[in-house]
Amino acid sequence: MKITKSIILAVLVTLSSNACAVKQSEEASTKKEVDNYKSKHAALVDHIYTADPSAHVFNDKLYIYPSHDIDSGIPTNDNADHFAMRDYRVLSMEKVGGNVTEHGVALSIEDIPWAGRQLWAPDAATKNGKFYLYFPAKNKDDVFYLGVAISDSPTGPFKAQPEPIKGSFSIDPSVYEDDDGSHYIYFGGIWGGQLQRWENGKYTGKDNYPADNEPALRPRVAKLSDDMLSLDGDVKEIEILDKSGSPILHGDNDRRFFEAAWIHKVGATYYFSYSTGDTHKIVYATGDNPMGPFTYQGVVLNPVIGWTNHHSITEFDGKWYLFYHDSTLSGGKTHLRSVKMAELEHLPDGTIKTIDAYEQ
């Protein structure tokens, strides 16, 4: 028995040493990556860490609704527990290149009755003089749902509704207002976002992914009711197809949906963009209906420093802009990110020119 315990102890020490070596190697690699690449774009603010920017123009002014990253001390894991954000801040600017104002706490997790932890990527919308902040949070049972909070100002403070939006689940809500005034909410994210744990509108508590040769898990969309606080009808799955009309497959990591759905429209074309997650790209597909289907077209943003890639796209003063984040300011710490922006170019054939955020 003593020999067995000694062997076990030796194995555990070896495994621990190997794990530390791997972690140190990853940290050294990240630092080298940060040192070797110069960012083309400055962080919009550098006194706090911000991520997952959702940008909108309200009353001719640009507002950005990001996550607020903090160093929680939680170890990195596949459940993304280290992304432990606890409040939201709002950024604004009068003109591109001008001063960026950070407006303080717009909503805190302590003021959301149903929330337990992790305020991830939010979005905002306006209607009839009111402003609505949509956000994901885990409830007291550690299940992600979407909530909504209301304010008379685009900068808050926002007052959260007492319960999550009925019928909602997973993460990364984004709200699009169409030309006729209808509002649509898009959401979903796999891995830590728990989309793979929902089947027929019910939470299973178990990860259930398709086989690599089967269609990928799909993002979700629903129309918002007139009150902006509830869903008008059933949640629908969004089809993302290749150019032959076949669904993008789960094993197609360079093109399949992972998280961070966003819609913008140019002319009659809807652009549905999203993150590919573990291949770290922002890609896009196009269609003629805000609820899809969408046909895959290409890459909007190449991978950035840090594991995540999350964005929004909006028009301001006659030009289109991409808002994104990276981890250069924190020296490559993937949970401490900073929001940036870059001009986005739609080419004459309707495609988007791919952006590379770095100079090597």
Q: Which residues are catalytic, by number?
A: 52, 259
DSSP, res 93: E
| Pairing verdict, β 115-117 and 130-139 | antiparallel
DSSP, res 8: H
d(CA 104, CA 87): 10
d(CA 109, CA 122): 13
* Cβ contact 49:68 at 8 Å: yes
Backbone dihedral region for residue 205 (phi beyond 0: left; psi -120 to 50: alpha; all else: beta): left
Q: Which two tokens stand for residue 339?
A: 């929001």
- The gap from C-alpha 128 to its chain's centroid, in whole angstroms, comes to 27
* Sign of CA pseudo-dihedral 292, 295, 300, 304: positive
CA-wise closest residue to 261 among 67, 52, 44: 52
* Cβ contact 146:135 at 8 Å: yes
CA-wise closest residue to 341 among 133, 81, 96: 96
d(CA 16, CA 169): 37
Fill in the amino acid letter for 136: P
Q: Which two tokens stand for residue 253?
A: 């990591």
* Cβ contact 236:293 at 8 Å: no
